[in-house]
């Protein structure tokens, strides 16, 4: 089956302008141009467009999609299995949020009282899934499945009050780090209080504390660009500053 750009546009629900742009950047080119000057797309192009739309649904940039699809080792079957897995995860999150809304409506209507924990289950599940997607591979390799699964369970089982307290604790830590980083002294009062809060924050997140894991985590903040950008987006050099502050805090803790 072959399609003109208009027919492919109607089939996929993508504008002809978008398809032309994909052609311009080399992401999706027609199989041929017919004698009348129309772009013609075949099965290969249809399958590629499907892959593009799957990756776009996951929030991936076009440049990254092109690199993946142009890789000679690209496995379309494996990619489809991965897409399916991610869609199932998304479906589970949406179903949880739908149940959450239904329970809230019932609660507002005078039905069974909804617990505070239930009100936030969907949002916490989304946070866990997002963290797994972004950092899961690295942190599981470093700390092991058992430790990360326990940390995820800890977050999912957290009640509203504790969840909000933990979130506020992180905000306090960031605010102190900004002040301390501007002063440039990781051993200063604000920096050491930020380090203390960071220790308490990860203890709440993990459900336990391990000094070696703490030291490894703040080093990962510096070594891994994604972790580093999370802190450096607040202020340049903040990830490295936090590592140094935590290092000094742990060295002198209990003295």
Q: Are 92 and 45 in a shared domain?
A: no
Q: What is the CATH number of the domain that holds 59?
A: 1.10.1660.10
Judge contact between 213 and 169, C-beta under 8 A.
no
What digits encode the pLDDT tens for the residues 26-63? 999 999 999 999 999 999 999 999 989 988 877 778 98
* Domain of residue 94, residue span: 75-114
How much is the mean pLDDT over the chain?
Answer: 80
What digits encode the pLDDT tens for the residues 69-121? 998 888 878 887 887 887 777 777 777 777 766 666 665 655 555 444 444 45
Token pair 């080093």 in the structure block, residue: 219
> pTM higher than 0.85, yes or no?
no
In a domain, residue 174? The reply is yes
Q: Based on the structure, what is the number of domains in the chain? A: 3
Q: What is the CATH number of the domain that holds 168?
A: 1.10.490.50
What digits encode the pLDDT tens for the residues 193-252? 999 999 998 888 777 788 888 898 899 889 888 778 888 998 999 999 999 999 999 998
Residue 207 has phi, psi (to 5 degrees) of 85, 5
């Amino acid at each position: 089956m072959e399609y003109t750009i208009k027919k492919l546009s109607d089939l996929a629900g993508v504008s002809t302008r978008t398809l032309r742009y994909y052609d311009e950047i080399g992401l999706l080119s027609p199989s041929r141009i017919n004698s009348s000057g129309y772009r013609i797309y075949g099965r290969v192009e249809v399958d590629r467009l499907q892959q593009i739309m799957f990756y776009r649904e996951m929030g991936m940039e076009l440049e990254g999609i092109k690199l993946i699809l142009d890789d000679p080792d690209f496995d379309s079957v494996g990619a489809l299995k991965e897409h399916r897995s991610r869609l199932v995860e998304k479906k589970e999150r949406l179903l949880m949020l739908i149940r959450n809304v239904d329970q809230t409506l019932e609660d507002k209507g005078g039905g069974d009282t909804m617990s505070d924990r239930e009100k936030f289950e969907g949002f916490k599940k989304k946070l866990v899934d997002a963290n797994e997607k972004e950092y899961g591979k690295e942190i599981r390799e470093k700390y092991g499945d058992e430790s990360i699964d326990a940390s995820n369970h800890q977050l999912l089982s957290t009640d509203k009050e504790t969840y909000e307290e933990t979130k506020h604790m992180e905000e306090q830590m960031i605010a102190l780090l900004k002040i301390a980083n501007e002063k440039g002294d990781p051993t200063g009062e604000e920096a050491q209080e930020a380090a203390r809060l960071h220790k308490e924050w990860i203890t709440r997140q993990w459900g336990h504390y391990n000094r070696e894991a703490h030291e490894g985590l703040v080093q990962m903040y510096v070594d891994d660009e994604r972790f580093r950008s999370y802190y450096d987006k607040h202020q340049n050099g903040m990830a490295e500053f936090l590592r140094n502050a935590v290092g000094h805090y742990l060295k002198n803790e209990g003295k």
